[in-house]
Amino acid sequence: MESICPFFLDKLNHEIHIFVTQESQPPLVCLEEGQVHEATNSSPPVSNNCSMSVLVGTGNNIWSGLYVILSTLGFVILLYLLDTLYINPYDISPWWYKGLLLLICMLVSVFIFGAVVVGLWHLWERQNAAREACKDKRIMVEKMQHNEILAHTDSCQQKLASSINIYYGSRPDFKGIASQLLFKT
């Protein structure tokens, strides 16, 4: 409407009366710590995606699963190679030495094979962050353009909002409204 007639609200003379019959006062929203605020029509905050955390495993469950699977597979491969290439050919028999070699295989599988997954996971997160940054930059440009349009329409909306009356806990008087309309025309 504003593109057709930029000053249509100056020429339009109207009043909007809203009757909320089920409530006696405006709705309130209770927040944490007992604070009470009036309800608004705002969207909920958007949460960011969880980034990679090696210690807790938050983020993408596929990468966490891949980390566990590849570390386990690396352990089995190292244990097989150790048994085939070192323990059997050299006839290693002390149980404490075999236990120490088993522990070393566990640590190496986690640090070597797991590190490959963590490195790839980190690169994947950086690429996603770069894509999100480009997307966010594009969105920011679009928002700036949109804000310029909104700044123009904001004054029109303020004029429109001043002509709106909200009544809580009462019903409209249709006879009075109809008689007012008859006398205004």
pLDDT of residue 135: 82
Q: Do the domain assignments include residue 43?
A: no
pLDDT in tens for each of the 185 residues of the chain?
A: 556 666 666 666 667 778 887 777 777 655 544 554 454 443 333 334 444 444 444 567 888 889 999 999 999 999 999 999 999 999 989 999 999 999 999 999 999 999 999 899 889 888 888 888 888 777 877 777 666 666 656 666 666 666 777 888 888 888 887 787 777 65
Q: Do the domain assignments include residue 30?
A: no
pLDDT of residue 112: 94
Taking every pair of Cα atoms in the chain, the longest distance, rounded to a whole number of angstroms, is 112
Q: Do the domain assignments include residue 172?
A: no
Q: Do the domain assignments include residue 81?
A: yes
Q: Do the domain assignments include residue 130?
A: no
3-state helix, strand, coil in the chain (%, to 5): 60, 10, 30
Q: What is the domain count for the chain? A: 1
pLDDT of residue 167: 80
Q: Do the domain assignments include residue 176?
A: no
Q: Do the domain assignments include residue 16?
A: no
Domain hosting residue 101, numbered range: 61-125
59's CB contacts (< 8 A; 6+ apart) are 49, 50, 51, 52, 53, 121, 125
pLDDT of residue 183: 74
Q: Do the domain assignments include residue 95?
A: yes
d(Cα 63, Cα 56) in Å, to the nearest integer? 12
